[in-house]
Amino acid sequence: MRFPTSRLSKSRSIQRREALYGLLFICPAVLGMLIFNLGPILAALVFSFTKYSIITKPKWTGLANYQKAFTEELVAQSFGITAYYVLVSVPLGIGLAFAVALLLNRIKGAYIYRTAFYVPSVVPTVASAVIWLVILNPSVGLVNYLISLFGVKGPGWLIDPDWATPGLILMSLWSIGTGMVLYLAGLQSVPEHLHEAAEIDGARAWRRFFAITLPMMTPTLFFHLVMGLIASFQAFNAPFIMTRGGPVNSTYYISLLIYDNAFRYFKMGYASATAWMLFILVLLLTFLILKTSRSWVYYEGRTGGRF
């Protein structure tokens, strides 16, 4: 059956018009990404090969900034402190959010508890940091008061170099609500008939958890791991407000070092080089997680849990 040529041309004209409208609608988002995201990233790459202090013209220096960053002890120390923060805060955040989601998944009145756990995650970081400055106060803070109930003297949170980063890690757990919501959504999507079949076969709760629930939740765990890793490497607001990198540089994360070099010492070229080192590190770690995820992330309908 053949359609009239006029009808086909009219249909194609409508399709082209709809495509044009679609392009017009996405133009603001694309332009915003190019101007406010991709543009600064590429500019930082160019500045990383120059000596630039905002008030002077950039002077090409080649790899000098990178050589300095690789040999400066403070940069290595900052990367080490940041790695410590990431390696502890990310697993703790994932584990605690997952545990809370499991507890709230099927209890009565769960929406009340879900709201209570989620609200802190939408509180602005600045406000949260101010609140936690009081909570972690060694003399009158709530945390040390609770510890003293067991007859133990609390540590000097945020003023003791050995306890400053643990204090910031504790504060980061304040915002597990976002992860909890992700896990609750994932738990709701686990097929109930699988649990029923396993229960009929005599599988106990722990067996059902490790054989059914956990594998089905691995895509959500994978997403939370990647996003948590990226966010933790970029942690800035809390340490900037609560410790300013102290005491004795014990919380001088790489984000603070980049900020100080850029806006305190006006070494934009050096700051850009350090920022690109951080970017490449996070990119490599994300790629490594993506590659290894093929062996442990399960997607229903795909064999071997592979992408």
Q: How confident is the model at residue 259 (pLDDT cuts 50, 70, 90)?
A: very high
Q: Please say whether the beta carbons of 224 and 97 come within 8 A.
A: yes
**Same domain assignment for residues 125 and 256:** yes
What average pLDDT does range 253-280 have in this prediction? 95
3-class DSSP string for 72-122: CHHHHHHHHHHHHHHHHHHHHHHHHHHHHHHHHCCCCCHHHHHHHHHHHHH
C-alpha to C-alpha distance for 217 and 189, rounded to whole angstroms? 9
Instruction: Give the amino acid at 276.
Output: W
* Structural domain contains residue 140: yes
* Structural domain contains residue 263: yes
CATH number of the domain where residue 191 is located: 1.10.3720.10
* Structural domain contains residue 125: yes
* Structural domain contains residue 54: no
Neighbours of 121 (CB within 10 A): 16
Place of tokens 């709809």: 18
Q: Which residues contact 22 (CB under 8 A, 6 or more apart)?
A: none
Place of tokens 């080192």: 277
Q: How is residue 28 written in tokens?
A: 């603001």
- Can you give the residue range of the structural domain that contains 33? 5-47
**Same domain assignment for residues 273 and 161:** yes
Which run of H or of E encompasses 45? helix 39-47
| Structural domains counted in the chain | 2
**Same domain assignment for residues 197 and 103:** yes
pLDDT for position 305: 45
**Same domain assignment for residues 166 and 225:** yes
Q: How confident is the model at residue 8 (pLDDT cuts 50, 70, 90)?
A: low
* Structural domain contains residue 157: yes
- Is 33 or 81 the better-scoring residue by pLDDT? 81
Q: How confident is the model at residue 301 (pLDDT cuts 50, 70, 90)?
A: low
Instruction: Give the amino acid at 37.
Output: N
Question: To the nearest 10°, the Cα dihedral for 40, 41, 43, 45?
Answer: 160
**Same domain assignment for residues 22 and 150:** no
* Structural domain contains residue 118: yes
**Same domain assignment for residues 158 and 283:** yes
* Structural domain contains residue 58: no
Q: How confident is the model at residue 306 (pLDDT cuts 50, 70, 90)?
A: very low
**Same domain assignment for residues 291 and 205:** yes
Q: Which residues contact 234 (CB under 8 A, 6 or more apart)?
A: 255
pLDDT in tens, 200-250: 888 888 888 998 899 999 999 999 999 999 999 999 999 999 999 989 999
pLDDT in tens, 158-197: 999 999 999 999 999 998 999 999 999 999 888 888 888 8
pLDDT in tens, 19-78: 888 888 888 888 888 888 888 899 999 999 999 988 888 999 999 999 999 999 999 999
Q: How is residue 50 written in tokens?
A: 């120059």
User: Model-level pTM?
Assistant: 0.87
**Same domain assignment for residues 156 and 109:** yes
Average pLDDT, the chain: 89
Q: How confident is the model at residue 13 (pLDDT cuts 50, 70, 90)?
A: confident
**Same domain assignment for residues 36 and 77:** no
DSSP three-state, residue 244: coil
Q: How confident is the model at residue 2 (pLDDT cuts 50, 70, 90)?
A: low
* Closest C-alpha among 279, 230, 287 to residue 40: 279
**Same domain assignment for residues 98 and 164:** yes
**Same domain assignment for residues 68 and 174:** yes
C-alpha to C-alpha distance for 307 and 300, rounded to whole angstroms? 10
Question: Burial, 107: exposed, middle or buried (Cβ in 10 Å; 0-12, 13-18, 19+)?
Answer: exposed
Percentage of the chain lying above the pLDDT 90 cut: 61
**Same domain assignment for residues 103 and 226:** yes
Give me the sign of the Cα torsion angle 199, 203, 209, 215: negative
C-alpha to C-alpha distance for 254 and 66, rounded to whole angstroms? 15
Q: How many CA atoms lie within 13 A of 161 on its CB side?
A: 6
* Structural domain contains residue 56: no
pLDDT in tens, 104-145: 887 877 788 888 889 998 899 899 999 999 999 998 999 999
pLDDT for position 304: 47
Q: How confident is the model at residue 307 (pLDDT cuts 50, 70, 90)?
A: very low
